[in-house]
Amino acid sequence: MSSTPFTVAIDGPAAAGKGTISRAIAAHFGFAHLDTGLLYRAVGALALDGADPIEAARALLPEALEDGRLRTAEVAQAASRVAVIPEVRAALLDFQRDFARRPGGAVLDGRDICTVIYPDAEAQLFVTASAEVRAQRRWKELSGKGDDRTLEQVLEDVRIRDARDSERDAAPMKPAVGARVIDTSDMSIEEAVAAAISHVEMCRGATAT
């Protein structure tokens, strides 16, 4: 594995498949991986516990990323709410940028990695899918955990979060200019991963020449 930094930045809405694709890319190339959404989920969880979100972001400790609640729907909504606060985003910025340039390569996935966190990333992807497809995926996941919400309720949550993430003043979610867009609505996981890896391979080749 080369010690030269190489950054793969992946953005996209919830349940589009970017986490699965990010982990697959990291495993394929031997890169480190950071789900930046966990940072905001950790702050959101602390906010639910009564902490001030700005202070929580400034004092965030690595062990907060191990909180068992971080994958719950309640914390996901809390994360989306605290993510619109500019001071929260600023507090988490340096951590993410340092991770992006770690030796040996890094994959970061989130909603503003290509556009704000590290726009100079050598490989940029925007992974998306229709709201209906993403809601179906999320509903199946939640049902498997005993959550009794209906598909219609999950779809409404997805649409609310999409609107909040794309319309916020601070770093709205949108594809970066030049990013490879992968719509996974009608793709298998294998097809989506293969498309992403192919793009990263192309970018690595371009960087090496």
Q: In what order do the strands lie in the sheet with 106-110?
A: 32-35, 106-110, 7-11, 123-128, 180-183
Average model confidence (pLDDT) across the chain: 93
Q: Contact 8/180 with Cβ under 8 angstroms? A: no
- pLDDT digits over 182-203, tens only? 999 999 999 999 999 999 999 9
In this predicted structure, the answer to whether residue 1 has a pLDDT above a threshold of 60 is: no
44-90 residue pLDDT tens: 999 999 999 999 999 998 889 889 999 888 999 999 899 989 999 99
Report whether pLDDT(2) > 80. no
For residue 209, is pLDDT > 70? Answer: no
Task: Give the tokens for residue 173.
Answer: 């979610």
User: What are 120-173's pLDDT values in tens digits?
Assistant: 999 999 999 999 999 999 999 999 989 899 999 999 999 998 998 898 888 889
For residue 6, what pLDDT band results from cuts at 50, 70 and 90? very high
Helices 131-144, 151-167: axis angle to 10 degrees equals 120
